C-alpha cells in the first residue's frame, strides 16, 4: 500500500452576489418552453396495500383539492377505489414540499478580489437554499454539492441562480432548476435520479432537461449565445425559437444563437493526447509540452489545479496551438483537464493529465497526488486507487478508514501510468436522507525530467 500524507488546507473565498435580476430578463422566453415538458410536472406513485386517495391526501397533498385533480388526470371512475400496483400520476404542485439544501463543496481563487457591496462571502460548507444567487469572480472557481450527491461546478465568471431547490416525500432526489445568466456550469448528476424528477438548466435562450449524468452548459451575456455539451447520458435541449426538443446523447453538443435557434448537433472533439516535451528556449526551467495535432480544433483549453478533484488552487488557460508551458515542475503532480474547442465554440471531451518532476528516470519516478475533501471533517473516507496498464489493472490503494487533515490527503510514491480513483464519505451534519459525497475520476500521470534536454 502506498503512503498517505496529510496536508493542511488553505481556503479561498467566492461569494453570493445580489442585484443580477437584469441579467435574467430574457428568461421569460426560455421558461415558457417548460410547459411542454409535461412528464416532469407529475410524480409517478405506485399504489400500496391500504392506500386510498383520502389517506394519500392526508399524508402528501397540499390540500384535499388534490384528490379530484388526481382522479381527473388518471381518469378514475371512482376516486374511492384504486388498485394495489396501479401507478398514479400526481401533479407536482399538489404535493407538499420543503426546502432542499446545497453546500459549497470547494472553492479557489487564483487572485485576490474585492466583494461587491452587500454580498456574502462563501466558505466551504456554507449552506445555500432556493433563490440563492452565485457570482464567481474572475480567477475563481467554486463547486456545490446537492443532497443526492450531484455536483455543480462553476468556473470563473459564472452567474447562477438556484431558482428551485426542494424535496417532497414521494421522491428520493430534490427537484432542481438552475438559471445560468453568464459563463459556464459543469454538472455531474447522480445516475440513480428518477427521470421524472426535474433537473433543468435554463439560459435566456434555451432549456435543458436532464436524463443523463454529466454535461456542461454555457451562456454568454454579451453574445446571448448558449452551448450544451454532453459527456454521459442524454440531455433534452431546446432553443427558444425551436419547435421541439432535441435529445443530445453522450459525446454530442449543440450551439444556440442569440435568436434562440439551435445549430445542427455535432460530435464533440475527442480528448487531446500528449505527444512530447522540450526545454523552453525563452526561460530557464520552463518546459514546453506538445499535444498531438487535431483536425477541426480552433483552440485548446485547460483547467489547471493542484488536486485530482479539480478543486484546490485552480485556473483556466486557453491556447491557440496544441502546446503549453509549464513554469516549474515539482514532485507533487499538477493536474490539467485539457480539451479542444471547435469552431462553433463547443468544448470537446476532456483528457486528464497530471505532470510531475522525475528526480531520477521518468519510469521510476515517485510522484505524489493530492485529493481534496473539504466537507469530510472527521468522517472516514472510502478511497480506491487503481493503476491500469496494457497487461493488467493493479490495485494501488483500497481503504474505508482514511481520515483527511483539514480537508486534504495525498498519495505518494506513484509511478507514471493511467490511474482511476473514487472516494466517498458522509457529511458530519447531513440530514437523515442525504446521500453524502461520492466522486470519481481518472488521470494519466506523466513524469518529466527535472532538467529537460
Query: What CATH number should be reported for the domain holding residue 78?
Result: 3.10.350.10
Query: What CATH number should be reported for the domain holding residue 119?
Result: 2.60.120.1440
Asked whether residue 88 carries a pLDDT value surpassing 90, the answer given is yes
pLDDT at 16 (0 to 100): 37
433: pLDDT confidence band, cut at 50, 70 and 90? Answer: low
CA distance 406 to 418: 28
CA distance 381 to 360: 33
Final residue belonging to a domain, choices 237, 267, 297: 267
Range in 31-40, 78-87, 108-117, 267-276 the model is least confident about: 31-40
What pTM value is reported for the model? 0.81
Is the distance from CB of 272 to CB of 300 less than 8 angstroms?
yes
Whether 304 and 400 map to the same domain: the answer is: yes
Higher pLDDT, 77 or 60: 60
pLDDT at 405 (0 to 100): 87
Residue 35 gets which letter from DSSP? Answer: G
Instruction: State mean pLDDT over 115-139.
Output: 77
Whether 170 and 21 map to the same domain: the answer is: yes
pLDDT at 120 (0 to 100): 64
Whether 183 and 285 map to the same domain: the answer is: no
Question: Sign of dihedral through CA atoms 46, 50, 54, 60?
Answer: negative
Range in 20-29, 75-84, 124-133, 335-344 the model is least confident about: 20-29
Supply 154's cell numbers: 462553476
The chain-wide mean pLDDT, for the chain, equals 83
Confirm whether 448 is domain-assigned: yes
Confirm whether 67 is domain-assigned: yes
Whether 278 and 427 map to the same domain: the answer is: yes
Specify the 3-state DSSP secondary structure of 216.
Answer: strand
- Whose CA is closest to 53, among 62, 61, 41, 43? 61
Please report how the helices 65-73 and 53-60 are oriented relative to each other, as an axis angle in degrees rounded to 10: 120
Whether 202 and 348 map to the same domain: the answer is: no
114: pLDDT confidence band, cut at 50, 70 and 90? Answer: very low
Per the structure, the complete domain to which residue 131 belongs is given by: 14-35+98-267
Whether 345 and 283 map to the same domain: the answer is: yes
Tens-digit pLDDT profile for residues 207-227 = 988 766 799 999 999 999 999
Query: What CATH number should be reported for the domain holding residue 347?
Result: 2.60.40.10
CA distance 424 to 434: 13
Please give the tally of structural domains in the chain.
3
Whether 165 and 26 map to the same domain: the answer is: yes
Looking at the DSSP bridge assignments, the partners of residue 5 are 410
Calculate what percentage of the chain has a pLDDT beyond 90: 52
Range in 85-89, 327-331, 366-370 the model is least confident about: 327-331
Instruction: State mean pLDDT over 385-413.
Output: 90
Whether 441 and 344 map to the same domain: the answer is: yes
Confirm whether 4 is domain-assigned: no
pLDDT at 431 (0 to 100): 52
Confirm whether 2 is domain-assigned: no
Amino acid at each position: 500500500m502506498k503512503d498517505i500524507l496529510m496536508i493542511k488546507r488553505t481556503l479561498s473565498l467566492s461569494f453570493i452576489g445580489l442585484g443580477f435580476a437584469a441579467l435574467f430578463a430574457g428568461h421569460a422566453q426560455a421558461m415558457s418552453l417548460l410547459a411542454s415538458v409535461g412528464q416532469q410536472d407529475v410524480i409517478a406513485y405506485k399504489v400500496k396495500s391500504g392506500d386510498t386517495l383520502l389517506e394519500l391526501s392526508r399524508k402528501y397533498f397540499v390540500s384535499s383539492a388534490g384528490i379530484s385533480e388526481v382522479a381527473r388526470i388518471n381518469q378514475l371512475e371512482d376516486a374511492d377505489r384504486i388498485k394495489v400496483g396501479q401507478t398514479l400520476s400526481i401533479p407536482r404542485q399538489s404535493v407538499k414540499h420543503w426546502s432542499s439544501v446545497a453546500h459549497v463543496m470547494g472553492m479557489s481563487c487564483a487572485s485576490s478580489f474585492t466583494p461587491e457591496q452587500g454580498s456574502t462571502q462563501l466558505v466551504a460548507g456554507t449552506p445555500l437554499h432556493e433563490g440563492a444567487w452565485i457570482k464567481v469572480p474572475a480567477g475563481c472557481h467554486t463547486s456545490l454539492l446537492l443532497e443526492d450527491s450531484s455536483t455543480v461546478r462553476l468556473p470563473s465568471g459564472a452567474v447562477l441562480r438556484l431558482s428551485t431547490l426542494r424535496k417532497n416525500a414521494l421522491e428520493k432526489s430534490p427537484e432542481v432548476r438552475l438559471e445560468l445568466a453568464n459563463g459556464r456550469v459543469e454538472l455531474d448528476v447522480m445516475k440513480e435520479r428518477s427521470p421524472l424528477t426535474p433537473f433543468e438548466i435554463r439560459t435566456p435562450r434555451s432549456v435543458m432537461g436532464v436524463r443523463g449524468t454529466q454535461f456542461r452548459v454555457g451562456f454568454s451575456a454579451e453574445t446571448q449565445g448558449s452551448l450544451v455539451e454532453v459527456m454521459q447520458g442524454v440531455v433534452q435541449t431546446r432553443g427558444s425559437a425551436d419547435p421541439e426538443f432535441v435529445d443530445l446523447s453522450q459525446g454530442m453538443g449543440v450551439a444556440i444563437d442569440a435568436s434562440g435557434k439551435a445549430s445542427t448537433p455535432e460530435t464533440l472533439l475527442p480528448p487531446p493526447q500528449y505527444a512530447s516535451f522540450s526545454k523552453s528556449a525563452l526561460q530557464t526551467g520552463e518546459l514546453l509540452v506538445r499535444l498531438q495535432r487535431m483536425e477541426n480544433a480552433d483552440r485548446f483549453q485547460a483547467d489547471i489545479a493542484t488536486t485530482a478533484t479539480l478543486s484546490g488552487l485552480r485556473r483556466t488557460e486557453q491556447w491557440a496551438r496544441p502546446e503549453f508551458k509549464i513554469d516549474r515542475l515539482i514532485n507533487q503532480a499538477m493536474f490539467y483537464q485539457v480539451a479542444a474547442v471547435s469552431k462553433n465554440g463547443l468544448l470537446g471531451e476532456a483528457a486528464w493529465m497530471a505532470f510531475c518532476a522525475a528526480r531520477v528516470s521518468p519510469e521510476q519516478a515517485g510522484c505524489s497526488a493530492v485529493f481534496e475533501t473539504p466537507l469530510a471533517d472527521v468522517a472516514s473516507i472510502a478511497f480506491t486507487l487503481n493503476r491500469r496498464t496494457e497487461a493488467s489493472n493493479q490495485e494501488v490503494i483500497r481503504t474505508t478508514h482514511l481520515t483527511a487533515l483539514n480537508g486534504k490527503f495525498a498519495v505518494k510514491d506513484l509511478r507514471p501510468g493511467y490511474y482511476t480513483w473514487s472516494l466517498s464519505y458522509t457529511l458530519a451534519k447531513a440530514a437523515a436522507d442525504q446521500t453524502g459525497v461520492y466522486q470519481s475520476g481518472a488521470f494519466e500521470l506523466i513524469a518529466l525530467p527535472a532538467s529537460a534536454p
